[in-house]
Each structure stands twice: as structure tokens, then as C-alpha cells.
């Protein structure tokens, strides 16, 4: 008698979610006869488990999805997550740092996320803050973040807000210039 799997139980305790690149590697290693596709993911059944990954309904074919997943893997991203149905790739710490898919492709900030990762920044927020201050070096920015000046005086929390204003940016740039002069 075949095992009956109630699909309402899928993606709960008998499910393994893989990053798209890991899913592709797994598919290549087990060479399944059937890959299931639903509205937002691909999955296979293996030894009582559902192994799946999201495709977000943005790819016409598995080959197209495979190509993008391998590209994302090569770019150094390893985490895929779903946050309140937002479509996103990333290795960063919170939902603001995710790359959102748009129109079946990467959002315009994709290149910035790649630059942040390759530039040694811990997350996109640090990269964005450093860029606003014209700091190109991740190590210099990290030193600045660890300074008493940054912790006690700098208006860093303004960067967290969607309402980050030109006034705050200018004040922070001026403060950073004063900080650099003290350090020299």
C-alpha cells in the first residue's frame, strides 16, 4: 500500500526547505523521475519527506529557474526566506535587507547587494550607510561603528528609518568629517 501524504501537512514537520541552489544540487544528485510544481514552489517526495524550494511563480520553466538559482548561488547568496509573502533572496539579517523579486527578475538593488557582500560589509544597511558617508572601505566603516563617537553621538538610527532625510544625512556627513579630523 502506498504512503498517503496529506498535502495540508506539507511544509510543516515532514518538510525540508532548501535554498534554490541547494535544491538544484539535490535534484542533480538524486535525479528524481518527477518534480512537482505548484503556484510558488518546486518539490519532490523522498523517503516520506517533502523537499522543496520556492520559485515565486516567476519562471516559465524549470530550466529558467535553474539558471537563475545557479546565478544566485554563484553570486554568494545562500539564504532564501519568505517574510509575509514577500519574494526575496538574501543572506542578510532582517527583512529590510532582503532582495525583493520584481517582474520575474531581481530588484534594482540587486547590484548593491552584490557590491555590499563583495565589499566585505556585514549587511546591506551598513553598505548603504557607508555609501551615504562616502566611505568605500568596510573595515574603515566598522572602525567608525565601534568608536565611542558613533555609539554616543552619531545619528545612526536615522538610517533605519524610511523617512531618512537630507538634513540627517548632511548632519551625519558633517559629524563624520569632524570625527575623521579628531582621529588624524
The tally of domains found in the chain comes to 2
Q: Are residues 36 and 66 in the same domain?
A: yes
pLDDT in tens, the chain (184 residues): 555 555 555 555 567 777 777 788 888 888 888 888 887 788 888 777 778 887 766 677 888 888 877 776 665 554 443 332 233 344 334 444 444 333 233 444 556 666 777 788 877 778 878 887 788 899 999 988 888 777 776 655 545 444 445 655 666 677 677 767 765 4
Q: What is the residue whose three cell numbers read 565611542?
A: 148
pLDDT at 104: 33
pLDDT at 138: 92
* End residue of a domain, out of 94, 117, 140: 117
- 61 inside domain: yes
Q: Are residues 138 and 70 in the same domain?
A: no
- 1 inside domain: no
- 79 inside domain: yes
pLDDT at 50: 77
DSSP state of 89: E
- 52 inside domain: yes
Q: Are residues 11 and 76 in the same domain?
A: yes
pLDDT at 139: 92
Segments forming the whole domain that contains residue 150: 120-183
pLDDT at 96: 42
Q: Are residues 109 and 68 in the same domain?
A: yes
Question: C-alpha dihedral over 139, 142, 147, 151, to 10 degrees?
Answer: 170
- 2 inside domain: no
Please indicate, yes or no, whether the overall pTM of this predicted structure exceeds 0.75.
Answer: no
pLDDT at 10: 54
Q: Are residues 21 and 83 in the same domain?
A: yes
Q: Are residues 18 and 69 in the same domain?
A: yes
- 103 inside domain: yes
Is 124 exposed, middle or buried (CB count within 10 Å of its CB: 0-12, 13-18, 19+)? buried
Q: Are residues 48 and 97 in the same domain?
A: yes
Q: Are residues 160 and 74 in the same domain?
A: no
* End residue of a domain, out of 73, 100, 117: 117
Q: Sign of the C-alpha dihedral, residues 30, 33, 39, 43?
A: negative
* End residue of a domain, out of 117, 140, 161: 117
Q: Are residues 68 and 127 in the same domain?
A: no
Q: Are residues 112 and 126 in the same domain?
A: no
Q: In what order do the strands lie in the sheet with 99-102?
A: 80-83, 86-89, 99-102, 105-106
Q: Are residues 88 and 19 in the same domain?
A: yes
For residue 103, what is its C-alpha cell?
517582474
Q: Are residues 97 and 36 in the same domain?
A: yes
Amino acid at each position: 500500500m502506498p504512503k498517503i501524504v496529506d498535502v495540508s501537512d506539507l511544509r510543516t514537520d515532514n518538510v525540508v526547505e532548501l535554498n534554490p541552489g541547494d535544491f538544484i544540487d539535490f535534484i542533480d544528485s538524486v535525479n528524481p523521475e518527477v518534480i512537482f510544481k505548484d503556484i510558488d514552489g518546486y518539490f519532490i517526495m523522498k523517503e516520506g519527506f517533502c523537499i522543496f524550494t520556492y520559485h515565486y511563480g516567476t519562471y516559465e520553466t524549470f530550466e529558467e529557474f535553474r539558471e537563475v538559482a545557479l546565478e544566485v548561488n554563484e553570486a554568494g547568496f545562500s539564504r532564501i526566506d519568505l517574510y509575509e509573502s514577500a519574494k526575496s533572496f538574501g543572506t542578510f539579517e532582517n527583512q529590510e535587507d532582503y532582495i525583493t523579486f520584481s517582474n520575474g527578475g531581481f530588484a534594482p538593488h540587486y547590484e548593491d547587494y552584490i557590491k555590499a557582500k563583495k565589499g566585505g560589509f556585514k549587511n546591506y544597511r551598513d553598505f548603504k550607510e557607508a555609501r551615504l558617508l562616502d566611505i568605500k572601505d568596510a573595515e574603515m566603516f566598522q572602525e567608525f561603528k565601534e568608536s565611542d563617537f558613533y555609539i554616543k553621538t552619531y545619528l545612526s538610527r536615522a538610517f533605519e528609518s524610511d523617512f531618512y532625510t537630507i538634513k540627517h544625512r548632511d548632519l551625519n556627513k558633517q559629524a563624520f568629517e569632524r570625527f575623521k579630523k579628531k582621529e588624524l
